[in-house]
Amino acid sequence: MTDRPVGKTYADAGVDLDAAASVKMRIKDIASSTLDGTVVAGPGGFGGVIDPDPNGDTLLVASTDGVGTKLRIADALGRHDTVGASIVNHCINDILPAGALPLFFLDYIGLSRFDPDKIAEIVSGLAKACADAGCALLGGETATMPDIYDDDDYDLAGFIVGTVRKDALLRPENTSEGDVILALKSGGLHTNGYSLVRSVFETDQNPSVLATNVPETSHTLGELLLRPHLSYLDALSPVLDKIKGLGHITGGSFYKNIPRALADGLGADVDVSTWEVPPLFKFIKESGNVDDQEMFRVFNMGVGMTIIVEPGLVDDVLNSVPGAFRVGDVVKRAEGEARTKLIGL
């Protein structure tokens, strides 16, 4: 490996989170003109919620996302099954915060040339994850566009629809000061922060670095980076009626995603000493000399989902959800204050 630039940031790698947040606010304003009385929750949440039948008892919850530049790691290693699983599980985790269970999934694969083996491997990952979740892989689109994608480049996006009973919908406004924040561990980077990792290790220029052993583990960098995004469906389905909200820790990490599960005027105090940051994140930090604040702004740092629970049900949920642990509290926040504060950082 070559010497790394001092203080590597996500912006250095071409991803400006602040600009992205600004653009998303503009998109939200534009989209608002299309929303009618059937929309229960529009852009801004993890999943959009719609009422297809005012006389019925079921809501539809939908979400879409992509795998990001994890695909470049998959291409470098010639392994494409885990990216399929990653996008399915990511989308499942994005409708869970509404209390929804998956109904069906659609995919989009865009690539420079038709590669039957690569496509079959991607779809096998999609199908396995859907089968594990009891979710139909209903269809999709495979588009060959040599003028858009170069050489072995491809893109993968997913679209999911799930259902939740109207009386079981999880709403941010139901959270309160004094609620407790629990968490579940991630399986790695999941589907976020790969542009920064690729910049830190210069994987595009030197893919052999992916064979480097990650300190404190028995795995290579490539193996850990290709681990699939975990689904929290099985762990959380039994307790959806006992919790107030969920924060899927994806792009923007703790700062962006925990507040999406909280009512206005509330914030989160998260104690970062309550879990051990996995070796992969330490290796990224040290190799790129990445600042702690930047690490916690970009990566999930070992926490894939946060769970908002009223105090009286904390022990019940901890006993019912294997691996869950307490990380913080819901507190009041004045307007203009950062809604997430990381204690001990």
Per-residue pLDDT, 117: 94
Q: Is the pLDDT of residue 133 over 50?
A: yes
- Rounded to two decimals, the pTM is 0.92
Neighbours of 148 (CB within 10 A): 12
Per-residue pLDDT reduced to its tens digit, 267-288? 999 999 999 999 999 999 999 9
pLDDT higher at 279 or 25? 279
Could you give the angle at which helices 81-95 and 116-133 cross, rounded to 10 degrees?
40
Q: Is the pLDDT of residue 2 over 50?
A: no
Percent of the chain predicted with pLDDT > 70:
97
Per-residue pLDDT, 10: 78
3-state secondary structure the chain: CCCCCCCCCCCCCCCCHHHHHHHHHHHHHHHHHHCCCCEEECECECCEEECCCCCCCEEEEEEEEECCCHHHHHHHHCCCHHHHHHHHHHHHHHHHHHCCEEEEEEEEEEECCCCHHHHHHHHHHHHHHHHHHCCEEEEEEEEECCCCCCCCCEEEEEEEEEEEEHHHCCCHHHCCCCCEEEEEECCCCCCCCHHHHHHHHCCCCCHHHHHCECCCCCCEHHHHHCCCCCCCHHHHHHHCCCCCEEEECCCCHHHHHCHHHCCCCEEEEEEHHHCCCCHHHHHHHHHHCCCHHHHHHHCCCCEEEEEEECHHHHHHHHHHCCCCEEEEEEEECCCCCCCEEEECC
Strand order across the 48-50 sheet: 39-41, 48-50, 58-66, 154-165, 101-111, 136-144
- Pairwise CA distance, residues 168 & 217, whole Å: 41
Percent of the chain predicted with pLDDT > 90:
83
Per-residue pLDDT, 6: 58
Per-residue pLDDT reduced to its tens digit, 143-175? 999 989 988 899 999 999 999 999 999 999 999
- Return the domain boundaries, the chain: 34-169, 173-343
Per-residue pLDDT reduced to its tens digit, 187-240? 999 999 999 999 999 999 999 999 999 999 999 999 999 999 999 999 999 999
Q: Is the pLDDT of residue 3 over 60?
A: no
Is the domain spanning 173-343 CATH 3.90.650.10? The answer is yes
The two tokens of residue 117 are: 């083996």
- Cβ atoms 98, 47 nearer than 8 A: yes
Residue 5 pLDDT class (50, 70, 90 cuts): very low
- CATH number for the domain formed by residue range(s) 34-169: 3.30.1330.10
Residue environment code for 28-65, b if the CB has 16+ CB neighbours within 10 A, otherwise e: eeeeeeeeeeeebbebebbbbbbbeeeeeeebbbbbbb
Mean pLDDT of 250-271: 95
Residue 137, Cα to own-chain centre: how many angstroms? Answer: 20
Mean pLDDT of 2-7: 53
Mean pLDDT of 97-110: 97
What are 239's strand-pairing partners? none
Per-residue pLDDT, 32: 76
Per-residue pLDDT, 4: 43
Query: For residue 260, what are the contacts with CB-CB under 8 A and spacing of at least 6?
Result: 44, 45, 46, 97, 172, 247
The two tokens of residue 227 are: 């681990």
Per-residue pLDDT, 197: 97
Average pLDDT, the chain: 93
Least confidently predicted of 42-56, 252-266, 283-297: 42-56
Q: Is the pLDDT of residue 8 over 90?
A: no
Per-residue pLDDT, 273: 97
